[in-house]
Chain A
Amino acid sequence: MLIFGGMALVAAGMLFGDIFAVFVLHQNGGQTGQALLAAARAVAAQDPSAVNIAFAHLGNLLEDRGTKVDAHVHMIDAGYLALLLALMQPYVALAAPSKKLLAKLFLTGGLLLPLGIFLIHYVGLDYAPLPVVGWASVLADSAGALLIVVLLVEGWGFWNYVRGRRARPVEPELPKDRTWERRTLLSGGTVLILMGFVFGAWYAGANLHEHENREIVILNDLLDQPAGAGGLADSVNAYGGLQAEKAVQIAAHSHIIEFGLLAILLSFVQPYVFLTERWKRIWVKVLLAGSVILPVFVLLELKLGLLAGGIADVGGLMVLVALVGMLVGVVRHTGSLDAAARGAR
């Protein structure tokens, strides 16, 4: 349940991310720039009420974008955690029905958390229980709390295992194979994560403070424009460029690490992927290729424009297709187990 549910959550989160990148991200960025330009023009025209209107629109756009990014990230991370819990089950000393209930609760929380986050923008503060917390936030926070409770109980079960207690039936440990697929996913995933860490360290050292300072300089420029000045559009473009620069660097850093983690996690479930060796290798190659293509071309987006963006989206799609391919293998595996059990009866 946790393996299938985890892979399904990751696949759904990736599909949502791809749809968001193609249909929402760039359009939202353009509208944000327009709203900031309107605010700057209102400053030049000495019209505070127009400033407030422009900022209300800007806040709305940022919330729209932010909640969608968060829903994408949280759904994938909940999927990763489900896969992790699946791997940990042999070391969790709890009774089988308790483990099953915990798995159901975790998958429910993993689905409701991103759903709640997604709805924040649409539900807003209608009939809100608190001045700044709406019902969608309550749903998301409750689902998050549910995940924490499940993790705490699983941690307690693991603590029992470490102390030597065992609950019957004991689940078998993961098969330790050294197949090509497992080794390639394991070492490829580790190298992807290492690349992401090194890039992140470089970003934090070289760009983080510079970006923060540049943002304030650009905003100061916008505020200091005299009425009717023609430089407003240039400043807004500079601000948009800075936001894009930050976004692609953070996206490259986070995606390459996430894909590395996914590759390592998928290396564990290979014994449960009921496909021919040829197809298993194809999906491994497609997954790793997509895992490199997406972050590299996201980084190149500033230089190559939409072409790079399109290639990055294809990279994301490759990872998604490979994941669904493996998921089909897991479904076939469970089917073969069911068939064998029926045959034995």
Chain B
Amino acid sequence: MSRSRKILIFGGTVLAVLGMLYGLHYAVFVEHQTLDRMSGSLAGAFAHAAERGGDDSKDALTAYRETKYDYVRQVDLHSHWIGLAMLLIVLGVVFDEVAFAERARFAVALAMLAGSIVFPLGVILQTVHMAPLGSVLAIAGSALVIAALGATAVGFMREGAS
């Protein structure tokens, strides 16, 4: 088995397990509480508004916004990590059919793995008051994955695949 295939299959499996463990931890210990807080703060915003408690209503709406911002990104982290892991494993199975030299294939595989780790990591950093760094990492990670996938598509279409 070539190095590029090993890195994709093994990296993808590790990433899938990490993504699932994270999802399981989030579902058991965080998600229900977060959903309760999110729905509670939105309902609270409306209830305070009905009582003409303008400031309390605004505070509750702010809490709703912050909780939802976190929730969306936590779920994104879980789903993107597992999704990208599956893509890595799938491509790992067939990567020898990418019609480039093994050295180039290894570089593409490495870029794809790095992007698949960095992109969701950037998304989660946005929830821990590191939004600028998180955005930079998310953009860089997704750009790496897109470029590597583009190269893979070209490799599949080229003549002379082994």
Contact = CB atoms under 8 A, between A and B. Distances in A.
Asked if A and B are interacting partners, one says yes
B104 interface: no
Contacts of B130: none
Contacts of B145: 197
B121 to A, nearest CB: 15
Contact of A268 (B1, B24, B87, B93): B93
A269 to B, nearest CB: 11
B87 A51 contact: no
Nearest to A262: B90
Interface in A259-275: 261, 264-265, 267-268
B93 A148 contact: no
A55 interface: yes
B13 A59 contact: no
B50 A178 contact: no
A170 B24 CA distance: 33
Contacts of A261: 86-87, 90
B132 interface: no
A151 B142 contact: no
A59 B23 CA distance: 22
B50 A51 contact: yes
Interface residues of A, number: 68
B17 A201 contact: no
Contact of A52 (B10, B21, B43): B43
B43 to A, nearest CB: 4
B89 interface: yes
B43 A55 contact: yes
B4 interface: no
A198 interface: yes
A84 interface: yes
A264 B23 CA distance: 25
Interface string A124-136: 0000000011000
Interface in A64-81: 77, 80-81
B146 A47 contact: no
A198 B27 CA distance: 29
Contact of B146 (A42, A58, A194): A194
A84 B138 CA distance: 27
A308 interface: no
24 contacts: A39-B46, A42-B46, A42-B50, A48-B51, A54-B46, A55-B42, A55-B43, A77-B82, A80-B86, A84-B89, A132-B36, A137-B27, A144-B27, A151-B20, A155-B14, A159-B10, A162-B6, A186-B94, A190-B153, A194-B146, A198-B146, A212-B65, A223-B45, A261-B87
Interface of A: 39-40, 42-43, 45-48, 50-52, 54-55, 58-59, 62, 77, 80-81, 84, 87-88, 91, 132-133, 137, 140-141, 144-145, 147-148, 151-152, 154-155, 158-159, 162, 174, 176, 178, 183, 186-187, 190-191, 193-194, 197-198, 200-201, 204-205, 212, 216, 219-220, 222-224, 257, 261, 264-265, 267-268
